[in-house]
Structure 1
Amino acid sequence: RPWATIGNCSATGLLIAVLAAYVKSIEDHGFILHFGVPSFTGFLPKEGWNGEVRIGQHVQGLVKSIDKVRKVVYFSSDSDTMSKSVTKDLKGMSIDLLVPGMMVNARVKSILENGVMLSFLTYFTGTVDMFHLQNIYPAANWKDKYIESQKVVCRILFIDPSSRAVGLTLNPHLVQNRAPPSVSLVVLNCYSSKFGFYIP
């Protein structure tokens, strides 16, 4: 549900975000989007959109601009732009403006027993468990790959509103917003590196 991820975001705060919404109506030049909250609506132009769209369909887009008078958020659906869009560090930013899927620059704050703690956007910390590290199959010495103050790029996985805990991922497929290889190819690559045979 889109409104479950937006929380109490203001329209100004959304300017830094990649957001999900659902299609409320289909117009001549684009799609009217709804977030489940009455304070603003979204518009996604048909130009550049590939594939069919139906009313009620969930879509994802990058916030390009905001009309504060009309309370309309304008989106881009360019996948390359979305995959490379890093959230800007805004003065006085609150946790209510964090949205799952945001890509952020971070630094390693500490090494944990089952992952790493990162600091990001000046005011926040979050954790990456060992199954979301840069190497999706961490070796026994995975801790040696990380040092304090090391710069990394990650994405927000979740925000727990009750504990205010933030989960992050360093998984390269999620960070780059790209589909992972098939399971069979991953397994074959693991065996090839272990037993030394070549996969063309």
Structure 2
Amino acid sequence: MGAVTAADRADRSPKQDRSRVTRQRLLEAAVACLAESGWAGSTVSVVAERAGVSRGAAQHHFPTREDLFTAAVEYVAEQRSTALRELPAQDRASVVAALVDLYTGPLFRAALHLWVAASNEPQLGSRVTELEARVGRETHRIAVQLLGADESRPGVRETIQGLLDMARGLGLANLLTDDGVRRERVVAQWTVLVEGALEN
């Protein structure tokens, strides 16, 4: 077999770039479809059309519907985790607000539709359970880091987990109505609780 030439590498690079762009467009379109239309209204064909690619191209990257949507939610979860990790050092009130924001946007809406589908679709169940466990651990770890928390102290781990559970609950409430005013009051109170738990 001949050596790979510079021309071969140059030829592959644009193809690889196009492939990465196509994959990213499919993932972003899948999350948007899931958030807007739920599992029943989100097919590979619908996602492919929204992404501006053929169904065949979509299936080349993601052979099954389950592959596409679990990869999509994981992709955006990683994007949000990256954004959280890159937050500048700031006060804890801003960190609490940023963590709550994580659960009130389209990612959470898309993930929720995936959870509901997984409860009725055996082929999705184990994949989504593993994905959510991983995302949950990563979010908790980032929260500990951003808040400068010492989890060896009594009650600190539970306080942070309670904060994340509260944020998830606010995200659920936000699905049905614009809960912004009440959410601000709850976030303010939780900031006081977090400050107290971390300072004592």
| TM-score, normalization by structure 1 | 0.25
Pair member with larger Rg: 2
| TM-score, normalization by structure 2 | 0.25
Q: Of the two structures, which has the highest relative contact order with CA contacts closer than 8 Å and spacing of 6 or more?
A: 2
Name whichever structure is richer in helix by fraction: 2
